[in-house]
């Protein structure tokens, strides 16, 4: 019903995927909305939610992009004809030629994990539909970009002025994640229209962790061509992005954000890029701190280390040899970015000094001599800020872009006004979520007007009906200090100019002789010749006739500016994707304890060029914060899916957010090359080490372990296995297989696997008959309330299972296949209940040992989803074993007590326990 009032939401990828904010007839990922319950409060709504029973017909599912790419994989969107929903290749210069000339080619491939910054405040919104005129109003903590407003109006079928978005003045963290709430906003708007009343939704943490948004996991590779003296000649990137079940706008932007700066900090000009976007049965990805940066630098900066090692050049030195030189700025990158300013070698030197690099290398040698696993890693990167809204159209071919019409730009807007009482108000549409926009805006405007910051009120609430906003408005891509602050400074300057003109006329001097200081407009060098700024400002309202000739009355200055370099992509797929390019150089030293796998970050240095620093404490806070996200991705955090695409990290006990004791000590260094692209000389910042720490740590771990085959996050078990040459596969984690082919109905490659044997006191044929006897089953399956035989080989059952007070009722269906009487049988089943659902299969084999002794061997694989998988992952394996144990104990007991019942066949039980049997 809701869907009837909503149209699908498009993206820049032109394929026939119909993305609705609610599933219509097919559910593609755990967490996809299938029903909306509206009640007086959340308690009652959750009661009602439990009354909804969904009858799913299961299809193979996978969370693994490589599996989803297989030829015979089950298609998520049949109309597309492939799970690869976007594929483009790019070439800048002559990469093939450069690879032929190369002395050394280095190649890496890896899996980059899926993680997210999980803001502490979840999504929150109130939607209200009013009639005459028909208008939706949505209050929310949406962060932008407001280009998504256009998609929302499209989905709701209304003109822009009939969808009023009002964002809160403050937001409890965002980091990109609060971009992805817009489909939910559309959904709630539609609900409000259907119900005729305002509707509120505060997302809870379980909802957030399964169904909000995350950064992209990727299956990437890179090749780098080097000359023998370490010159980086060419790069080939092969990016495979697991985009989730849908391409949710602004995706595929994550793989294009860094594209026009694919050379990183280096002079290399021959570059090839191949991008593939793969849909899988996972939550759609979206903006997350560093957006595309962590994945990009994982390619570039790990291959730089690999090149250094291959050529026996120090990793710092190989970077130094390839850096863009200070005199080359502004630097036009091969894929179109224009780097504003920088001095990369200075930053590197500073980092090496702060890290005492030579001493650190000695420490490494000493540690190694003692048999310790000690490694040093580093990463250098530019930090693009203030996005060109058009970069995402690189997803289209030049021909497609030409057809669609031009796109370019990234408007910054701001208003500075002075009311009749002389009070100053700044309005910014930057939707801050803790980045100190108010503080910095007040400071910049105060400086321009000669006032104190506490005299400036900064309004950060956005109202699309009354604010000066545009497509690029919002809080992302380090936009504030790259673009927004320039617009604020410009608007303040307009106000200042006007005040100076009025003061000049009143004081009978030239306007250029007036300065605004200490609340006054005064004649330079003659402080006693002064008038209060407040009074001059008030004059524009109270006494317009007394203003200088030709001056407009009032003081309400709005600046709408477009950074001039943000042009449309050209027909060579080059685009200036961002306004300012900061720089970060990170260096890490780690020790991995061989006996426990513990990884200790012994040293971490991070040097930043953020251009002119607008506010030291804000800049420092952003650096620490970005660092924490980067370290978390490197060491701890991951959204794990099992082989059946069930999310396993549904709570904060399973998704391991980094906490204070896990944060290593950080040494921060600064140097500044002011940006010519910004009136204040500032550059965007904030992503910082969130982009580089995963790579610096991975490089250090690789150095310690003497292998390039490391995969994040570097958890204890993984490190220990790597350090000791032991195989490691995360339990239940998605690694290929499922969905990789048309398979027999019901067959499941499960996340839970197990096998075992029991010896039973009866002959195989007795065991066989009893095993397949419905009465026996009903008796020995713990919690079996009702068992119905549907056909010879098919049963349904109601099972009530409780472990430790965690009780659930499940309805199950079990089919028997491949029966070989007295020898073996295969069971296939599925079940669902309030706490979750499952499917699986098992094989039972009987072997005659001696008279009246039979060995029963079983193996199973099962796949459990729903709440129980998301919140109880830690316990699933154990519970499975427990239930199987219970079953066979009961079975053996019955074999001893009951004497051969000759009724027919059935077994299902094992599976029943498994499938539904989580709790």
Partner 1 sequence: MLRIKPDQKQRVTLTVNGKLVSGYAQPRLLLTDFLRHEMGMYGTHVGCEHGVCGACTIIIDDVATRSCLRYAVQCDGLELRTVEGLAEPDGKLNTLQKAFNENGALQCGFCTAGILMSATKFLQDNPKPDRDEIKEMLSGHICRCTGYEQIVRAIFQASGQ
Partner 2 sequence: MKPVAFEYCRPDTLEEVMELLTEFGGDASIISGGVSLGAMLNMRLVRPKALIDINHVLELGNVEFDDATAITGALVRQAAAQKMTSLMSGVPLLAMSLPWVGHYQTKSRGTLGGSVAHADPSAEIPLTLVTLGGSVTLRSPSGVREVAARDFFHGLLTTDRRPDELITALNWPLRRASTAYAFEEIAQRHGDFAITAVAAEATVAIDGTLANVSFGLGGVEDHPIVADTAEFIGRPATRDTAKEIAEVVADIVDPMVDLQANADYRRQLVRVLGSRVLSSAFNEASAVREAA
Residues that bind partner 2 in the complex, under the rule CB under 8 A: 42-43, 46-47, 50, 204-206, 595-598, 636, 640, 648-649, 651, 653-654, 656, 658-659, 661-662, 715-717, 720-721, 724, 726-733, 803-807, 834-835, 867-868, 871-879, 881-882, 919
Question: DSSP 3-state assignment of 603?
Answer: strand
Q: Are 86 and 14 in contact (CB under 8 A)?
A: no
| 343 touching partner 1, by CB under 8 A | no
Spell out, one character per residue from 204 to 223, where the chain touches partner 1: x when CB under 8 A holds, - when not. xx------------------
| 176 touching partner 1, by CB under 8 A | no
Q: Are 453 and 152 in contact (CB under 8 A)?
A: no
Residue 720 interaction partner, one of partner 1, partner 2, none, beta carbon < 5-8 Å per kind = partner 2
Q: Figure out which of the listed residues 657, 731, 758, 882 binds partner 1, where binding follows CB under 8 A.
A: 657
Residue 648 interaction partner, one of partner 2, partner 1, none, beta carbon < 5-8 Å per kind = partner 2
The DSSP line for 303-337 is: HHHHHHHHHT--HHHHHHHHBPPGGG-SEE-TTS-
- Angle in degrees, CA 328, 330, 336, rounded to 5: 105
From the CB of 697, what's the least distance to partner 1, in Å?
A: 15
Q: Which lies closer to partner 1 via its Cβ, residue 505 or residue 662?
A: 662
**What phi and psi values does residue 669 have, to the nearest 5 degrees?**
-125, 150
Q: Figure out which of the listed residues 434, 681, 751, 866 binds partner 1, where binding follows CB under 8 A.
A: 434
Residue 175 interaction partner, one of partner 1, partner 2, none, beta carbon < 5-8 Å per kind = partner 1
Report how many residues bind partner 1 under the rule CB under 8 A: 38
Question: DSSP 3-state assignment of 268?
Answer: coil
Q: Which lies closer to partner 2 via its Cβ, residue 534 or residue 718?
A: 718
Q: Figure out which of the listed residues 92, 129, 136, 175 binds partner 1, where binding follows CB under 8 A.
A: 175
Q: Which lies closer to partner 2 via its Cβ, residue 515 or residue 642?
A: 642
From the CB of 241, what's the least distance to partner 1, in Å?
A: 24
Residue 433 interaction partner, one of partner 1, partner 2, none, beta carbon < 5-8 Å per kind = partner 1
Q: Which lies closer to partner 1 via its Cβ, residue 118 or residue 275?
A: 118
Stretch that binds partner 1, among 380-388, 619-627, 669-677, 694-702 (CB under 8 A): 619-627
Beta strand segments in 533-595, E: 556-561, 578-592
Q: Which lies closer to partner 1 via its Cβ, residue 336 or residue 664?
A: 664
| 433 touching partner 1, by CB under 8 A | yes
Spatial CA neighbour of 733 closest among 838, 859, 869: 869
Question: DSSP 3-state assignment of 431?
Answer: coil
From the CB of 43, what's the least distance to partner 2, in Å?
A: 4
Task: State the distance between the two ends of the chain, measured CA to CA, in whole angstroms.
Answer: 34
From the CB of 659, what's the least distance to partner 2, in Å?
A: 6
| 817 touching partner 1, by CB under 8 A | no
- Helix and strand tally (H, E) in the chain? 23, 31
Structure tokens at 399: 């021909």
61-86 CB burial, b ≥16 within 10 A, e <16: bbbbbbbbbbeebbebbeebebbbbb
Q: Which lies closer to partner 2 via its Cβ, residue 339 or residue 627?
A: 627
From the CB of 27, what's the least distance to partner 1, in Å?
A: 25
From the CB of 633, what's the least distance to partner 1, in Å?
A: 13
From the CB of 206, what's the least distance to partner 1, in Å?
A: 8
Residue 436 interaction partner, one of partner 2, partner 1, none, beta carbon < 5-8 Å per kind = partner 1
Q: How far apart are CA 775 and CA 83, in angstroms?
A: 46
| 171 touching partner 1, by CB under 8 A | yes
CA distances from 915 to 22, 506, 868, 911 (A): 27, 85, 12, 6
The DSSP line for 474-517 is: SS-TTHIIIIIHHHHHHHHHHHHHHHHHHHHHHHTS-GGGEEEE
Q: Figure out which of the listed residues 83, 174, 281, 470 binds partner 1, where binding follows CB under 8 A.
A: 174
Q: Are 429 and 485 in contact (CB under 8 A)?
A: no
Q: 682-721: which residues touch partner 1 (CB under 8 A)?
A: none
Q: Which lies closer to partner 2 via its Cβ, residue 389 or residue 868?
A: 868
From the CB of 827, what's the least distance to partner 1, in Å?
A: 35
From the CB of 176, what's the least distance to partner 1, in Å?
A: 12
Residue 872 interaction partner, one of partner 2, partner 1, none, beta carbon < 5-8 Å per kind = partner 2
From the CB of 893, what's the least distance to partner 2, in Å?
A: 18
The DSSP line for 214-234 is: -PPEE--EEEEEE-TT--EEE
Strand partners, 588: 377, 604
DSSP state for residue 713 in the 8-state scheme: S
Burial class (CB in 10 A: 0-12, 13-18, 19+), 89: exposed
Q: Which lies closer to partner 2 via its Cβ, residue 49 or residue 778?
A: 49
Stretch that binds partner 1, among 30-38, 144-152, 558-566, 660-668 (CB under 8 A): 660-668
Q: Which lies closer to partner 1 via its Cβ, residue 134 or residue 204?
A: 204
828-840 CB burial, b ≥16 within 10 A, e <16: bbbbbbbbbbbbb
From the CB of 863, what's the least distance to partner 1, in Å?
A: 25
Q: Which lies closer to partner 2 via its Cβ, residue 165 or residue 631?
A: 631
Q: Which lies closer to partner 2 via its Cβ, residue 556 or residue 641?
A: 641
Q: Which lies closer to partner 2 via its Cβ, residue 131 or residue 726?
A: 726
Q: Are 494 and 480 in contact (CB under 8 A)?
A: no
Find all residues with CB under 8 Å of 422, minimum gap 6, and list them: 532, 533, 534, 535, 537, 538
Q: Which H/E stretch holds residue 667? A: strand 667-670
Q: 621-640: which residues touch partner 1 (CB under 8 A)?
A: 621, 624-629
Residue 171 interaction partner, one of partner 2, partner 1, none, beta carbon < 5-8 Å per kind = partner 1
Residue 435 interaction partner, one of partner 2, partner 1, none, beta carbon < 5-8 Å per kind = partner 1
Structure tokens at 87: 């594929």
Q: How far apart are CA 324 and CA 501, in angstroms?
A: 45
From the CB of 212, what's the least distance to partner 2, in Å?
A: 15
Stretch that binds partner 1, among 119-127, 153-161, 237-245, 748-756 (CB under 8 A): 119-127
Spatial CA neighbour of 241 closest among 88, 449, 444: 88
Tokens 């021909």 belong to 399
Q: Which lies closer to partner 2 via its Cβ, residue 43 or residue 399?
A: 43
Q: How far apart are CA 735 and CA 194, in angstroms?
A: 43
Q: Are 383 and 690 in contact (CB under 8 A)?
A: no
Residue 119 interaction partner, one of partner 2, partner 1, none, beta carbon < 5-8 Å per kind = partner 1
Tokens 């899926």 belong to 114
Report the relative pairing of strands 412-418 and 806-820 from DSSP bridges: unpaired
Q: How far apart are CA 227 and CA 690, in angstroms?
A: 31
Q: Which lies closer to partner 1 via its Cβ, residue 407 or residue 629?
A: 629
Q: Figure out which of the listed residues 408, 506, 651, 789 binds partner 1, where binding follows CB under 8 A.
A: 651
CA distances from 830 to 209, 661, 834, 838, 872 (A): 25, 43, 14, 6, 19
Question: DSSP 3-state assignment of 630?
Answer: helix
Q: 27-46: which residues touch partner 1 (CB under 8 A)?
A: 41, 43
| 620 touching partner 1, by CB under 8 A | yes
| 287 touching partner 1, by CB under 8 A | no
Q: How far apart are CA 422 and CA 426, in angstroms?
A: 13
Spatial CA neighbour of 373 closest among 710, 704, 706, 708: 704
DSSP state for residue 41 in the 8-state scheme: S
Return residues touching partner 1 (CB under 8 A).
Answer: 41, 43, 117-121, 170-175, 204-205, 433-436, 617-618, 620-621, 624-629, 651-653, 657, 659-661, 663, 666
């Amino acid at each position: 019903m809701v869907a009837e009032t909503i149209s699908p939401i498009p993206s820049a990828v032109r394929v026939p995927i119909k993305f609705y904010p609610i599933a219509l007839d097919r559910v593609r990922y755990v967490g996809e909305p299938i029903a909306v319950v509206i009640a007086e409060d959340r308690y009652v709504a959750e009661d009602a939610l439990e009354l909804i029973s969904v009858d799913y017909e299961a299809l193979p599912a996978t969370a693994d992009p490589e599996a989803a790419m297989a030829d015979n994989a089950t298609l998520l969107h049949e109309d597309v004809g492939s799970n690869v929903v976007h594929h483009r290749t790019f070439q800048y210069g002559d990469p093939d030629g450069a690879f032929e000339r190369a002395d050394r080619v280095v190649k890496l491939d890896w899996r980059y994990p899926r993680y997210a910054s999980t803001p502490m405040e979840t999504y929150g919104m109130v939607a209200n539909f009013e009639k005459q005129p028909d208008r939706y109003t949505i209050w929310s903590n949406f962060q932008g970009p407001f280009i998504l407003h256009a998609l929302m109006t499209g989905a709701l079928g209304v003109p822009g002025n009939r969808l009023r978005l009002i964002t809160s003045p403050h937001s409890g963290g965002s980091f990109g994640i609060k971009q992805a709430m817009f489909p939910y906003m559309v959904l709630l708007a539609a609900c409000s229209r259907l119900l005729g009343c305002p509707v509120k939704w505060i997302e809870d943490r379980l909802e957030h962790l399964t169904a909000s948004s995350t950064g992209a996991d990727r299956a990437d590779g890179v090749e780098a061509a080097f000359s023998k003296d370490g010159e980086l000649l060419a790069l080939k990137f092969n990016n495979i992005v697991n985009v989730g079940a849908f391409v949710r706008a602004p995706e595929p932007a994550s793989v294009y954000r860094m594209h026009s700066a694919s050379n990183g900090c280096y002079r290399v000009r021959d570059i090839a890029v191949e991008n593939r976007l793969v849909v899988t049965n996972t939550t759609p990805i979206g903006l997350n701190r560093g957006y595309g940066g962590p994945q990009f630098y994982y390619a570039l900066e790990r291959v730089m280390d690999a090149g250094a090692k291959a050529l026996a050049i120090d990793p710092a030195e190989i970077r130094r040899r390839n850096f863009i030189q200070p005199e080359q700025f502004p630097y036009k990158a091969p894929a179109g970015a224009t780097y504003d300013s920088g001095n990369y070698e200075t930053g590197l030197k500073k980092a090496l000094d702060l890290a005492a690099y030579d001493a650190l290398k000695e420490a490494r040698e000493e540690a190694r001599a003692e048999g310790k696993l000690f490694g040093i890693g580093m990463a250098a990167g530019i930090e693009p800020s203030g996005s060109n809204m058009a970069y995402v159209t690189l997803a289209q071919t030049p021909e497609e872009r030409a057809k669609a019409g031009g796109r370019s730009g990234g408007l910054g807007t701001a208003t500075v006004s002075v009311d009749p009482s002389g009070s100053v108000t700044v309005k910014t549409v930057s939707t801050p979520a803790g980045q100190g926009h108010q503080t910095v805006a007040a400071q910049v405007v105060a400086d321009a007007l000669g006032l104190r910051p506490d005299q400036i009120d900064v309004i950060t609430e956005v109202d699309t009906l009354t604010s000066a906003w545009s497509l690029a408005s919002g809080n992302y891509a380090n936009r504030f200090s790259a673009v927004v602050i320039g617009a604020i400074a410009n608007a303040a300057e307009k106000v200042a100019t006007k005040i100076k003109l009025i003061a000049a006329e009143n004081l009978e001097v030239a306007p250029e002789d007036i300065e605004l200081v200490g609340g006054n407009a005064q004649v330079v060098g003659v402080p006693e010749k002064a008038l209060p700024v407040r009074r001059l400002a008030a004059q524009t309202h109270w006494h317009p006739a007394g203003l200088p000739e030709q001056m407009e009355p009032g003081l309400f200055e709005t600046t709408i500016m477009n950074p001039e370099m943000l042009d449309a992509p050209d027909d060579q797929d080059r685009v200036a994707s961002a306004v300012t390019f900061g720089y970060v150089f990170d260096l890490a030293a780690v020790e991995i304890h061989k006996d426990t796998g513990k990884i200790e970050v012994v040293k971490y240095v991070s040097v930043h060029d953020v251009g002119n620093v607008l506010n030291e404490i804000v800049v420092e806070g952003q650096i620490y914060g970005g660092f924490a996200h980067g370290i978390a991705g490197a060491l701890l955090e991951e959204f794990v899916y099992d082989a059946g695409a069930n999310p396993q990290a549904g709570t904060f006990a399973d998704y391991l957010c980094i906490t204070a004791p896990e944060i290593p000590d950080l040494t921060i260094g600064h140097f500044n090359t002011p940006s010519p692209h910004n009136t204040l000389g500032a550059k965007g910042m904030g992503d910082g080490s969130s982009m580089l720490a995963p790579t610096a740590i991975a490089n250090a771990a690789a150095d310690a372990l003497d292998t390039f085959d490391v995969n994040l996050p570097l958890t204890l078990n993984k490190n220990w296995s790597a350090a000791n040459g032991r195989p490691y596969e995360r339990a239940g984690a998605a690694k290929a297989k499922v969905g990789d082919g048309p398979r027999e109905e019901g067959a499941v490659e499960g996340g839970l696997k197990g096998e075992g044997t029991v010896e039973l006191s009866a002959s195989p044929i007795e065991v066989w008959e009893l095993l397949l006897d419905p009465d026996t089953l009903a008796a020995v399956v713990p919690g079996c309330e009702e068992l119905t035989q549907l056909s010879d080989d098919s049963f349904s059952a109601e099972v009530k299972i409780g472990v430790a007070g965690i009780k659930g009722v499940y309805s199950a269906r079990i089919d028997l296949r491949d029966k070989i009487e007295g020898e073996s049988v295969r069971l296939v089943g599925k079940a669902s209940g309030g706490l979750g659902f499952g499917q699986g299969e098992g094989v039972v084999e009987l072997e005659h040992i001696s008279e009246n002794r039979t060995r029963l061997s079983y193996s199973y694989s099962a796949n459990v989803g729903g709440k129980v998988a998301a919140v109880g992952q830690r316990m699933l394996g154990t519970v499975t074993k427990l239930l199987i144990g219970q079953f066979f104990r009961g079975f053996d007991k019955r074999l001893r007590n009951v004497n051969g019942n000759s009724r027919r066949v059935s077994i299902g039980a094992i599976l029943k326990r498994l499938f539904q049997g989580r709790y």
